[in-house]
Amino acid sequence: MKLTGAQALIKSLEMEGVEVMFGLPGGAILPVYDPLIDSSIRHILVRHEQGAGHMASGYAHATGRPGVAMVTSGPAATNIVTPLCDAYLDSIPIVVITGQVAYSAIGTDAFQEADTVGITMPITKHNWLVSDVNDIPRVIREAFHVATTGRPGPVLVDFPKDIANQTMEWYWPEKVDLPGYKPTVKGHPKQIKDAARLIQNATMPVILAGGGILKANATNELRELAELGNIPVVTTLMARGVIPDAHPLCLGMPGMHGNYTAVTSMQKADLLINLGARFDDRVTGDPNCFAQNAKVIHVDIDPAELGKVRRAEVPIVGDAKNVIAELIKAVKGEQSKHGAPDTSAWIAQLNEWQENFPLKYQQLDGGPLKPQFVVEALRANTPDDCILVAGVGQHQMWASQLWQFRQPRTWVNSGGLGTMGYAVPAAVGAKVGRPDRMVWAIDGDGCFQMTAQELVTASSERIPVKIAILNNAYLGMVRQWQELFYEERYSEVYLSPDLPDYVKWAEAMGCVGMRVDSADDVVATIEKANAIDDRPVVIDFRTDWREKVYPMVPAGGSNDNIILGPEFGEGGR
Tell me if residue 15 is catalytic: no
Residue 84 buriedness (CB in 10 A; 0-12 / 13-18 / 19+) = buried
Report the distance separating Cα 328 and Cα 228, nearest Å: 8
Among 117, 324, 375, 447, binds other proteins (CB under 8 A): 117
Query: Which region among 60-68, 120-128, 198-206, 427-435 touches other proteins (by CB under 8 A)?
Result: 120-128
C-alpha 366: how far from chain center:
36
> CA angle at residue 54 from 446 to 387, to 5 degrees?
85
Among 75, 107, 118, 556, binds other proteins (CB under 8 A): 118
Tell me if residue 528 is catalytic: no
Among 17, 179, 339, 571, binds other proteins (CB under 8 A): 179
CB of 271 to other proteins, least distance (A): 23
Give me the catalytic one of 14, 111, 329, 504.
Answer: 111
Among 303, 368, 557, 572, binds other proteins (CB under 8 A): 303
What are the counts of helices (DSSP H) followed by strands (DSSP E) for the chain?
A: 23, 20
Report the distance separating Cα 288 and Cα 272, nearest Å: 15
Give me the catalytic one of 477, 509, 514, 552.
Answer: 477
Cβ nearer to other proteins, comparing 107 with 333 = 107
C-alpha distances in angstroms, 368 versus 409, 448, 472? 33, 22, 11
Does residue 121 touch other proteins according to CB under 8 A? yes
Does residue 122 touch other proteins according to CB under 8 A? yes
Phi and psi, residue 56, nearest 5°? -60, -40
CB of 12 to other proteins, least distance (A): 19
Among 129, 242, 262, 283, binds other proteins (CB under 8 A): 129
Among 34, 194, 302, 501, binds other proteins (CB under 8 A): 302
Among 75, 111, 293, 304, binds other proteins (CB under 8 A): 304
> Of 393, 364, 402, 274, whose CA–CA distance to 327 is shortest?
274
71, 29 Cβ separation under 8 angstroms: yes
Among 3, 21, 77, 146, binds other proteins (CB under 8 A): 146
Tell me if residue 112 is catalytic: yes
Does residue 524 touch other proteins according to CB under 8 A? no
> Of 384, 378, 391, 377, whose CA–CA distance to 409 is shortest?
384
Tell me if residue 186 is catalytic: no
Tell me if residue 215 is catalytic: no
- Distance separating the N- and C-terminal Cα atoms of the chain: 72
Contacts of 551 (CB under 8 A, 6+ apart): 257, 258, 259, 260, 263, 357, 359, 562, 563, 564, 565, 572
Bridge partners (DSSP) listed for residue 155: 95, 126
Does residue 175 touch other proteins according to CB under 8 A? no
Query: Which region among 173-181, 375-383, 519-527, 564-572 touches other proteins (by CB under 8 A)?
Result: 173-181
Does residue 465 touch other proteins according to CB under 8 A? no
Q: Which residues bind to other proteins, rule: CB under 8 A?
A: 117-118, 121-122, 125-126, 129, 131, 146, 178-181, 302-304, 306-308
Which residues have a catalytic role annotated?
Answer: 49, 111-112, 161, 477
